[in-house]
Amino acid sequence: MRKSTARKVAYYGIFVALAFVFSFVEVLVPVSLGIPGIKLGLANIVVLTALYAMGPRDAFFISCVRIVLVGFTFGNMASLLYSMAGGLLSWLVMCLLKKIKGFSMIGVSLAGGISHNIGQIAVAALMLKTVSVIYYLPVLLIAGTITGILIGILGGMLLKVQLRLKNSIG
């Protein structure tokens, strides 16, 4: 029992640390297309991989811890709220689609990328008390589609490596 608990804590630590590092890389290399909120979402590779390798509850925990750590380290309360809304909606959509047969990891990731942007726009509309932010949505949906596909591909590659390591270690 102790060994499995220690292993789980180690996996949490590794996954959160990796997601944090990916978030830091995004801070160093910002993508600016004139639209606020467009990011590569590299940390989502870790959340997606955790969803498939560890399960929904573990992916939720890793996502929330990463969002809080990154929010307090590199952002502010507004960015933390936007990220949390996007992250939670993305996690929920990815969990639901993963259960449905016929959705690949890339499809699940694509839906996660799109729903992340929808969550952020919804919170922005509430915080700013205007629906005019919806004009950003088409560009954000295109960005979410592109990054979602990319994250799905990279997540699939990371999952294969992670499963190979897990099988070789025991």
- In order along its 170 residues, the chain shows pLDDT tens digits of 455 888 888 889 999 999 999 999 988 877 666 666 677 889 999 999 999 989 999 999 999 999 999 999 988 899 899 999 999 999 999 999 999 988 999 999 999 999 999 999 999 999 999 999 898 899 999 999 999 999 999 999 988 887 787 777 65
Alpha helices (H) in 29-136, listed in sequence order? 43-53, 56-74, 77-99, 105-128
Residue with tokens 């932010």: 133
pLDDT for residue 159: 87
With beta carbons less than 8 A apart as the criterion, state whether 66 and 84 touch.
no
Distance CA 33, CA 113 (A): 17
pLDDT for residue 37: 65
CATH architecture observed for domain 5-160: Orthogonal Bundle (1.10)
Q: Is 76 left (phi over 0), alpha (psi -120 to 50) or beta?
A: beta
Amino acid, res. 97: L
Quote the radius of gyration of the chain (alpha carbons, Å): 16
